Amino acid sequence: MQELPDCLYEGEQPSLITPSSPTPNQTLYLSNLDDHHFLRFSIKYLYLFQKSIPSLTLKDSLARVLVDYYPFAGRIRVSDDGRKLEVDCNGEGAVFAEAFMDITCQEFLDQHSPKPNKSWRKLLFKVQAQGFLDIPPLVLQVTYLRCGGMILCSAINHCICDGIGTSQFLHAWAHATTSQPHLPTRPFHSRHVLDPRNPPRVTHSHPGFTGTTTIDKNSTFDICKYLQSQPLAPATLTFSTSHLLRLKKTCAPSLKCTTFEVLAAHTWRSWAQSLELPLTMLVKLLFSVNMRKKLNPELPQGYYGNGFVLACAESKVHDLVDGNIYHVVKSIQEAKARITDEYVRSTIDLLQDKTVKTDVSSSLVISEWARLGLEELDLGGGKPMYMGPLTSDIYCLFLPVAEDNDAIRVQMSLPEDVVKRLEYYMVKFLDGKDNEDENSYV
């Protein structure tokens, strides 16, 4: 895969975009779901647009939308007692860089996508900072291309918002850019709706976290450390509508399931097979579940903070890879069904203990970006030709496909030899014989 050329910056870059009118100078409390250690990273998006928008227009609209979304112009800090993160809503501003790259939209699509490579990092200005908390929560770069198109890259601190929240913010910016006067959804800032109970009451088991059960450290090995100890390559597979229907047929007619459930089951199985894990090993699937409407009362409309919890399905490897997909889908459905108001409250109370961490040692983590409306973003020049993450990681993403709203692109990074096995297992079901074998289990 070819490397991208260097970005050319003119003048003093980057600039700080501050809210266009005064905003509340206050501290925004972050919930236990926001400041959990697992989320201390930035969500990084890459958008390719065929038609560019002038940087002055984008800066002006950003300044206006930051009046409503003023925490994005603040800075994250540790609270005085040292136990939690909070946002100092000081209006210092979002980082905005603009550059030029000698490439066309079509060249990017033909030569560089859909698999991210390290040279893509050139498309997002690197803020010099001592640590993650010193980086402003919103960093943007617009790169203008030779053909008149542009690439927009964003880094949004995950402690401030989840995927739904990032989409809400970006669409609010697009709304302001196209000069529409009122936001489609007003942001709801307060996180106190997710306060822990006093005293905390952990009423459910939470196998997705360490410290909740006694683990025999000799019984398994740490998949996460194993993967991060060697060079990784991105694996990207696109599942069309017909592919997804064929997957669903492996469960029909006795089990109704969603596209996410069957694709997650298939990906989890293929991941375990490609890693050639010990058959007796217990592995987990962690996947985000939007709980905004599962609480009683529901979270307010416009809540952009982290409004998800990780559901956890568990299986021995031999049951996962040697059994049929029906039972894997069923375990995912059961994990989703466990996400109730009381389960969410129990999770929030559990996270009062700051030693509790997400268990990634034996887990595949799946995050779904494909149903958030991210691919619908229109800053005034049309919807994107391409949308995806700026980087690839060991965590799995279900991504939207710009030209097909019903298709899903699966992406994760693994060692190169594992990538080849993963690609084999992920498409094996398309073979007629294998497909019949799957159906024979139902």
* Alpha-carbon gap, residue 54 to 56, rounded angstroms: 5
Question: If you search the block for the tokens 């996460």, which residue do you land on?
Answer: 224
> 254: buried, middle or exposed (CB in 10 Å: 19+, 13-18, 0-12)?
exposed
Length of the chain: 442
* Alpha-carbon gap, residue 98 to 88, rounded angstroms: 26
DSSP 222: -
DSSP 7: P
Indicate which residue of 35, 36, 112, 158 is catalytic: 158
How many CB atoms are closer than 10 A to CB 128? 7
* Alpha-carbon gap, residue 75 to 335, rounded angstroms: 36
* Alpha-carbon gap, residue 142 to 101, rounded angstroms: 10
Question: If you search the block for the tokens 């899903």, which residue do you land on?
Answer: 408
The radius of gyration computed from the CA coordinates of the chain, to the nearest angstrom, equals 22
DSSP 39: G
For residue 70, give Cα distances in angstroms to 18, 25, 43, 174: 9, 9, 18, 16
- Quick one: tokens of 6? 């260097």
DSSP 127: -
How many helices (H) does the chain have, and how many strands (E)? 11, 17
For residue 76, give Cα distances in angstroms to 15, 27, 235, 256, 358: 19, 10, 33, 44, 22
Handedness of CA 429, 431, 437, 439 (dihedral sign): positive
Q: Are 325 and 266 in contact (CB under 8 A)?
A: yes
Q: Are 133 and 78 in contact (CB under 8 A)?
A: yes
Q: Are 319 and 303 in contact (CB under 8 A)?
A: no
Residue 187 CB partners (closer than 8 Å, separation 6+): 68, 69, 168, 169, 172, 302, 304
For residue 331, give Cα distances in angstroms to 251, 282, 314, 326: 13, 14, 8, 9
One-letter identity of residue 287: F
Told to judge if 378 belongs to the known catalytic residues of this protein, a careful annotator would answer yes
Helix (H, G, I), strand (E, B) or coil at 372: coil
Q: Name the β-bridge partners of 155.
A: 44, 139
Indicate which residue of 60, 88, 195, 378 is catalytic: 378
- The catalytic residue positions are 158, 378
